[in-house]
Each structure stands twice: as C-alpha cells, then as structure tokens.
Amino acid sequence: MVKDLFEFLTSANNPHDVDLIPTNTSPHVVAGVIKQLLRTADPSLIPFDRLDEFYSVVETKNINNIKSMLESMLPYQFQVLQKLIQFLSQIIENSASNLMDLRNVAIVFSPSFIPPDALEEGTLGTLYYLQSQKKIVVILEFILIQAKNLFNMNDI
C-alpha cells in the first residue's frame, strides 16, 4: 500500500489536482509515504551538509537564531518543513490514542532526514549515521516544541 501510494504521488503531473490521501487510508500508510518521500528528497529537507550547524544553533535554544537558520533554507524546504511540523504536531496532539508522543515522533521520523547514500560504508559510517540521527531527533524535538514561535502559526 505504501509503495502504491508513493508511486501515485510521485508520478502525478500536478499533485494539486489529485486527492492526495483517500479518507480510508491508514495513518501508518500516510506516515510511511511521508518518510519515503523525505528519504528520496534531493536535497534533503534539512540539508545534511548543514546538520552540525543546525544542531549547534538548536543547542543555543535562541529562537531568533533558529528562526533565521530555518528561514535561510530554500523556500520550498522551509514550506515543506512547516507543513510537516504542522502534521507531526497533530499526531502528537493525539498521543493519548496513537501512543506517538514528541519523542516517539522525532525518533520515528529522524532517519528519514538522513539520505542513506550520504553516509560511508563500514563501522565509521554506521557510527556517524547514529550520531547524525541523534542530532536530528534533538532538532525535530526542539522545532516541534517551538513550532508556534518558529513558524508564526497559531494553528499548529
């Protein structure tokens, strides 16, 4: 089901003209498609070559610096990230029924921000991958917590 929906969405000539998510689609399928789209995005939503920079800025917890960093992204990356954060925030709001709290959402989606082919093979590559995933979890958690401040959105 994930593969079918993914292929449908990526082959649509104008995605604005299609009903992207049929009403009877499992939320697990939707999450799977989103993760697959994030993995195949080129460049990745959070540019992998700027991961350490993003992480350092997030560690400062300075909203203005983080907001500037986000706004320095390519416009489409910023817009997609904003919509993704809005979607993930809705999942977190329903954590009582879906068991997907802030930490779980960040952990589940973090690998999707690291293009697998961007990492070297072998032990060092695996270690670097895990360190990068940890950084993305921290970045996602902070962005999700501060979404209203970072995106100036009241509906998150």
**Cα 136 to Cα 81: distance, rounded to the nearest angstrom:** 13
Rg (CA), the chain: 16
Fold of 42-151: Phosphatidylinositol 3-kinase; Chain A (1.10.555)
**For 11-65, what is each residue's pLDDT tens digit?**
555 445 445 566 677 777 878 888 888 887 777 788 778 889 999 999 999 999 9
118-154: per-residue pLDDT in tens? 665 555 577 777 888 899 999 999 999 999 999 876 6
The confidence band for 80, taking pLDDT boundaries of 50, 70 and 90, is confident
Burial of 75 (0-12, 13-18, 19+ CB in 10 A): exposed
CB hemisphere CA count around 88 (13 angstroms) = 28
- Tokens at 103, concatenated: 């930490």
Q: How far apart are CA 151 and CA 79, in angstroms?
A: 10
pLDDT band at 2 (very low <50, low <70, confident <90, very high): very low
What residue ranges do the domains of the chain occupy?
1-40, 42-151
- Rounded Cα distance, 75 and 81, in Å: 10
Q: Is the pLDDT of residue 73 over 70?
A: yes
- Cα–Cα distances (Å) from 136 to 14, 29, 32, 53, 93, in that order, read 31, 22, 18, 11, 21
Coil, helix or strand at residue 47: coil
